[in-house]
Amino acid sequence: MTSDSAETTGVQHAHIGTAPAGLIDHPRGAEPGKPGDRGAFSFETITRLPDSADGKGRGGARYGRTGILHTPHGDIRTPAFVPVATQGAMKAVLPETMREAGAQCLLSNAFHLYERPGEEVLNEAGGLAHFMNWDGPTFTDSGGFQVLSLGAGFKKTLAMDVSGMKSDDVIAEGKERMAFVDEDGVTFKSPLNGSLHRFSAEISMRIQHNIGADIMFAFDELTTLMNTRGYQEESVERTFRWAQRCVAEHKRLTEERIGKPYQALYGVVQGANYEDLRRHAAEQIASLDFDGVGIGGAMEKRIIGDICAWICDAMPESRPRHVLGIAAVDDIFACVENGGDTFDCVAPARCGRNGAIFTRDGRYNVKRAEFKHDFRPLEEGCECYTCKDYSRAYVDHLLRAREFNGFTLATIHNEHFFIKLLDDIRASIDGGYFDEFRDATLARFYANGSRG
């Protein structure tokens, strides 16, 4: 599939009623009276990293690559960073601004959109992209993250250090369990009003089809690193059974939803830190008719690249790979080198709202006293909207005053930083200088012991 594939479908890009100008109302592969054309979604590899003696994949393989992810609502050049618009919106930032910041695609949370405004509203609006006035591809997660965040109560689950005791009943301090897993699915207690909601493989598929994103994920169970080995084994098998059900329901709904574009379905590989479980889960997911794979679950920072390589060992090259919830600079390099194509994380926006600013020279907090009279941009040489027009002193003032403009300006810069980082990594792979760029970038970023 090429970028000209819209012409081959016989469907023209058009606008209806009062639809905002620029939106694709008839995306690739959507024809009246027919199910979505699966051919509108594909992955095209451009450049592959050469294998090396220290490659983490089988035979020294390094699975890092550049490519083009073709979707009904447009193409994504990979590797790419996917900003998180949890509830169909980036907090304090308009979709148009995210496009200006360089974003190619956005990811939203199926559980939160199910709670409000509701899947029916999004379906009636013509899908997530149309609803939020985003002219480009979209992702939705499955609700699987809430199995952990509402269950054990942990919000940060990736690149963790394992130092605590093993427990299958672990709960974050000050939290109550609000997600209860059984063989058929999960019962959630709403964080909004305490009402109970049921998610299963079939329900997650229905919700995500109605939301209408280009790429969605199979329903899975996200465990913590503190769960016992026995529970991790049970969870991997349960996630596989749910994956089988997701594939079946996805095919049924695709045939039923006439005139809609095809939505790609990614299976999710779990297994925590265990190599044998990760390889086993990857082989299970690879055996099913998925369009791509999500590399999910809690994992230690020290082996994050290894885990990606274990999974890619089992995956067909034609399937794109999305790494869920990663936004530390060294983790991104490790995951790209070992096969990650797309990445999402809430950290850039969340950190920005709290004053943490990412730059090529590390991460700093703009609310420190030394920046009160600093009229330089957040990062010297940065081309983002914030850095071209506003100073550290002004952003510091806005954040201290809790003015929403401060959230906006800090978020724009941080999202641009990660979008540009992935753009530069992509250029380095195509240009044949990835190793040199990785080493120089990491040395500069962490020179002062910066986090992130």
143 marked ligand binding residue? yes
Report how far residue 85's alpha carbon sits from residue 141's, in angstroms, rounded to the nearest whole number: 11
297 marked ligand binding residue? yes
214 marked ligand binding residue? no
144 marked ligand binding residue? yes
146 marked ligand binding residue? no
105 marked ligand binding residue? no
344 is catalytic: yes
384 marked ligand binding residue? yes
**Secondary structure of 373-432 in HEC code, one letter for each residue:** CCCCCCCCCCCCHHHHHCCHHHHHHHHHCCCHHHHHHHHHHHHHHHHHHHHHHHHHHHHC
Cα angle: 300, vertex 306, 309; to 5 degrees = 135
413 marked ligand binding residue? yes
397 marked ligand binding residue? no
List the structure tokens of 61: 């393989």
219 marked ligand binding residue? no
Give the side-chain half-sphere CA count within 13 A for 103: 31
Catalytic residue among 291, 331, 341, 344: 344
Q: Which distant-in-sequence residues (6+ apart) come within 8 Å of 165 by Cβ?
A: 226
212 marked ligand binding residue? no
Q: Which distant-in-sequence residues (6+ apart) come within 8 Å of 195 by Cβ?
A: 189
335 marked ligand binding residue? no
List the structure tokens of 361: 């020279």
With tokens 């909004």, the residue in question is 192
Catalytic residue among 141, 291, 313, 341: 141
Nearest C-alpha neighbor of 410 from the set 420, 423, 397, 422: 397
Alpha-carbon distances of 375 from 8, 355, 416, rounded to whole Å:
53, 16, 20
Report how far residue 219's alpha carbon sits from residue 246's, in angstroms, rounded to the nearest whole number: 7
Numbered residues of the known binding site for Zn(2+): 382, 384, 387, 413
Numbered residues of the known binding site: 141-145, 220, 270, 297, 382, 384, 387, 413
Active site amino acids: 141, 344
Numbered residues of the known binding site for substrate: 141-145, 220, 270, 297
